Amino acid sequence: MGLNPHETTPRCEVYELGIVPYAEAWAWQKSLVQRHRDGPQPDRLLLVEHPGVYTLGQGSTLDHLKRPPEQLPYPLFRTERGGEVTHHCLGQLVGYPILNLKRHQTDLHWYLRQLEEVLILTLAEFGVMAVRQPGLTGVWVGHCKLAAIGIKVSRWITMHGLALNVCPDLRGFEAIVPCGITDKPVGSLAQFCPEVTVDIVRPVVVKHFAAVFGVVPTTENVALLDL
């Protein structure tokens, strides 16, 4: 879908894709980034859950794996995002914004803080007061990390994004040192709100993403991606 030059508030197409294998969602992101390079595109937000997987940042080593790669319980991918190793699994809501930051602010620190703000506002709706940790990226409750952020920005087009632990099985994190942080555990929203589900949290994330980035969200059919 093209851009409307007469729109005063930018539109953001939201795709609620359900459970998607990591490699498939990664390929979608790269295809959408290429579309931005080929010509004007609307901002997009892909929302998914992944079956169990581990991902490494572009410059990360294997030092934060507690087992050899072939002994990990789930597949391992090296990606172009920043940051160290992390884990995705069912019960974790993953958001991949494909944004043109020239429409927002061409400032990577600003973008990271905006993603954190989306998560902080989302958790606040469930009575959980999350904060930032100085010098670190992500969202925390005390010393417990509830959400991770890792991005890639090229020509001011974003990919990768955020992962909020809603109600996952956290045992998959035991095989790694998440984000290379040794002294702070990983937690989930379900530890504070036992009945919470990804389906409950997803629209709250969309609402706050739209407010923080100043966009109008439109829910789109996956077929419109035409990938």
Residue ranges in the chain whose pLDDT is less than 50: 1-2, 5-6
Pick from 72, 99, 209, 195: nearest CA to 156: 99
Q: What are phi and psi of 50, to 5 degrees?
A: -110, 140
Question: Is residue 167 annotated as a catalytic residue, yes or no?
Answer: no
List, in order of start, the domains of the chain with CATH numbers.
11-211 (3.30.930.10)
Active-site residue, from 12, 144, 179, 193:
179
Q: What tens digit of pLDDT does each residue of 37-61 get?
A: 999 999 999 999 999 999 999 988 8
pTM (2 d.p.) = 0.93
Pick from 46, 54, 37: nearest CA to 12: 46
CA distance 29 to 34: 9
pLDDT of residue 227: 57
Return the amino acid letter for 51: P
CA atoms within 13 Å, Cβ hemisphere of 59: 5
Q: Other CB atoms closer than 10 Å to residue 222's CB: what's the count?
A: 14
Q: Exposure of 147 by Cβ count < 10 A (0-12 exposed, 13-18 middle, 19+ buried)?
A: buried
